Amino acid sequence: MEFILVGQPNCGKSTIFNSIVGYKSLSSNFPGVTVKYSKGTICQGNEKIDVIDLPGTYHLNPTDQAELLAIKYLMKENSERVIINIIDSSILTRSLELTLQLMELNLPMVVCLNMIDEAHRKGVKIYSDKLSDILGVPVVETVGNRGKGIYDLFDMAYKVGKVNIAPKVIKDNNVQDLIENITEILGTSNGKIDKSHRFEAIKLIEKNSYFIEKISKRLDKKNLDKINKIISTIEKTQNNSSDVIISEVRHKMSFDIFEKVTEIGKPVKRDFRDKLDAVFMHPLFGYLTMGLFLYLIVFIIFGIGNLIEPFFVDNLTNLSDMLRLEFGENTAAYHILNGIIIGIGGAIGIVIPYLIPFFLILSFLEDSGYLARIAYLADNLMHKLGLHGLSIVPLIFGYGCTVPGILAARILKSPRDKFITIVMTTLIPCSAKMVIILGLIAFFISVEAAILIYVFNIIIVGIVGKILSKINPEVSPGLILEMPKYQLPSLKAILVKIWFRLKEFILIALPLLVVGSVILELVKYFDWIDGINSFLAPFTSVVLGLPKEIGIVLLFGILRKELALLLLFSAIGTQDVPSVLSVAQIFSFTIFVTFYIPCLATIATMIKELNLKYAILITVLNTVLAAVLAVLVRFAVMVV
C-alpha cells in the first residue's frame, strides 16, 4: 500500500512526514529532473507501507514543473494507494479548494485537519464529523508540530486503503452539464467511460496545457471540435474564461462547506506572534533585524566552526605523524593512508564544525516561518538582479561556507533561480577564502585593500547574476508568496532534517575528498611537483604573472582553500610574502584564488544539487572568470 501526503505549502505536511517516517526517509528525484520529493517506509498493521511526501501545491492545475510531476504521480495507475490530504485548519476555505480537486482523482482519501489549535485560537470551531459526511471521506484532527493525532491519522489511512472507498462526487449545477458532456465525449471515443475521463474533462475546462496536448493526440478532430465548442459556449454565456469559471465554482463550494461545518466564535486571544511582523517586516526595523539575524547566523557558524575545527586538524596531524613513523616518510603506504586521512578529515572538518550548526539554523528558519519574511524584505534588491528575495539566503550563508550556501539554494522553487543563485554563491568568498584575503591583503597591504576586495567581489557577483538572468529570461510572473504563521518548530522534525541532509552530503562528498586527497598525496610520493609546476607554468607565470612554484599551490587549493595560504608559504619558502611577491602579484594571487575552481566539497555538492554537467560548467566558468579578473587587477595595480 502507498500513502501520498498532499497539501498546500505551509500546511505542516513535512513536519507530519518527518515525525512519522523519521530518519529513514530518502529524498528522490522525479525521473530526469531535479524536482525532489521525499519517500519513506512505515509499518502499519504488519504491512510495509510507502509514504510519499509530494511538494506542496495550492491547486492541481499545474503552472510549473514540480506541480505537473506531482499530478502525474497522483494519476499513475497503482492498485492500493491512499491520499492523505493535509489541511491548515485555520484557513479552511482556501484549503478545501485543493481537497475538492483531489476528490476529482477518485482515489481513497483521508482529510487531515492539521493545526486545529490554530483554528481554535482564531475562534473557529470545526465539526469534523459534518465535514466527513459532506466529503464522504474520514476526517482526522491533528496538531502536527506537537505530534497530536498523527498515529490516528495513519491508522485511518490504512483502514481506508483496506476498504478502498472513493470520495463522493460533489456536483454543482453551474458546471455539472459541462463536465458531464465532455466526460461523455472522452469516454465514448475511448470505448467506455471510466473514472479518469471525468478528471480529464475537468482539466480541459481548466485549460491545462499538459492535458490539452495529451488529449489532442488521442482524440479525433470531430470530437475535439465538439469539446471546444462546449467550452466556448459556456465562456460566452458567462462572459468569463472557463478555467476561472470552474475555479469560482470550487471557491463557492468550499465557502458553502465552510459555513456548514464551522461555528465562528470570538478569537481566543492575540498572542505575541501577531505582533512579530510589526517589527520583522517593518520598512526599517525589518531590515535591521534581518541584518542582525543574518550576521549572527554567519557569526555563529563561523565562530563554532573556527572553535572546533583546530581540534580535528590537530588530531589529524598527530595521526599523520604516527603513520609517518610507522611506515616511513617515503613509502607509498604512508602517502595513500595519509591521503585517506586528509580526505576523511576534510569531510569531518566541514560537517561537524560548519554543517551541523548551519543545518540547525536553516531548519529553524524554514520551520519557524521567518525565511518567508527574508524573501519579502530582500525581494526588491534581488529583483534588480532578476531573482527573487529568497535567493539572498544562499548568498549570505556562502560567506560562512559555500557548501551550506549551495544546499540552501534548495529553498528556491524555480530551477533557473536555483542555478543562477548557486553560481553566485560559489563566487562569494567563504571563510576559507577570507583567511587568504585577510592573511595576504589585510596583513601585507592594508585593511582598506581587503575591504576593497570584498566590495569588488560583490560587484562582480552582481554582474555575473545580472548577465545570467539576462541569458535565461524570467518566465515566472514575480513574487507570489504566502507568509506562513510563525510556529515553534518541532525538535524531532528538525533533527530528522539535519540527519537527512548530513547523510546526503557525506555520501557524495566523502568519496570525492578521499580520492582527491589520495591523488594529491601520490603526486608528492612520485615527486611530480616540479613536473606539475612546469606544466602549469604557462598559466601561472604568463597569465597570472606569478612564480611557477605557486602552480602546485593552486592545484592543492582545490582540495581545501584554507590550505592555499600555508602551501603558499611553503612553496615560496617564507612567510614574508612581500619579500618574494610584488604587490601586483599578491593581488593577482588573491583574486584568482577567491574566484577560481570551487573546493572539492563544493563541486560534490553541486553535482548533488544540480548535475555533473552543470558542476563542470560552473567550475570552468569560475576559473576563466578568475583568470580574467586576476589579469585585470594585476595590470590595474601596476598602473596605479
Residues that bind other proteins (CB under 8 A): 58-59, 61, 63, 90-91, 93-94, 97-98, 122, 207, 243-244, 247-248, 251, 277, 281, 283, 372, 375-377, 379-380, 383, 388-389, 476-483
For other proteins, which is the closer residue by CB, 71 or 633? 71
The least CB distance from residue 243 to other proteins, in Å, is 7
Look up residue 538 and give its three cell numbers.
Answer: 604557462
Look up residue 604 and give its three cell numbers.
Answer: 560534490
For other proteins, which is the closer residue by CB, 389 or 404? 389
Q: What's 24's DSSP letter?
A: G
For other proteins, which is the closer residue by CB, 206 or 549? 206
Whole-angstrom distance, CA of residue 410 vs CA of residue 36: 9
Whole-angstrom distance, CA of residue 334 vs CA of residue 325: 9
For other proteins, which is the closer residue by CB, 155 or 243? 243
Look up residue 164 and give its three cell numbers.
Answer: 478502498
Phi and psi angles of residue 126, each rounded to the nearest 5 degrees, phi first: -110, 125
For other proteins, which is the closer residue by CB, 189 or 472? 472
Whole-angstrom distance, CA of residue 294 vs CA of residue 300: 10
The least CB distance from residue 259 to other proteins, in Å, is 13
Contact in structure between 156 and 138 (CB atoms under 8 Å): yes
The least CB distance from residue 381 to other proteins, in Å, is 9
Concatenate the DSSP letters of all residues of 2-21 into one string.
Answer: EEEEEE-TTSSHHHHHHHHH
Whole-angstrom distance, CA of residue 392 vs CA of residue 302: 18
For other proteins, which is the closer residue by CB, 250 or 548? 250
CA distances from 49 to 60, 71, 73, 158, 161 (A): 25, 21, 17, 9, 11
Closest CA to 389 of 419, 421, 362, 350: 421
The least CB distance from residue 118 to other proteins, in Å, is 10
All residues at 6 or more sequence positions from 351 whose CB lies less than 8 Å from its CB, including other chains: 502, 505, 506
Q: What's 355's DSSP letter?
A: I
For other proteins, which is the closer residue by CB, 166 or 483? 483
Residue 431's Cβ-count burial label (10 Å; 0-12, 13-18, 19+) is buried
Closest CA to 99 of 196, 5, 7: 7
Contact in structure between 577 and 568 (CB atoms under 8 Å): yes
For other proteins, which is the closer residue by CB, 94 or 130? 94
The least CB distance from residue 359 to other proteins, in Å, is 26
Concatenate the DSSP letters of all residues of 520-587 into one string.
Answer: HHHHHHTT-HHHHHHHHHIIIIIIS---GGGHHHHHHHTT-TTHHHHHHHHHHT-S-GGGTS-HHHHH
Question: Given the C-alpha cell 469516454, which residue does it identify?
Answer: 187
The least CB distance from residue 111 to other proteins, in Å, is 18
For other proteins, which is the closer residue by CB, 375 or 510? 375
The least CB distance from residue 206 to other proteins, in Å, is 8
For other proteins, which is the closer residue by CB, 484 or 516? 484
For other proteins, which is the closer residue by CB, 191 or 478? 478
The least CB distance from residue 94 to other proteins, in Å, is 5
The least CB distance from residue 545 to other proteins, in Å, is 43
The least CB distance from residue 175 to other proteins, in Å, is 15
The least CB distance from residue 387 to other proteins, in Å, is 11
Contact in structure between 10 and 484 (CB atoms under 8 Å): yes
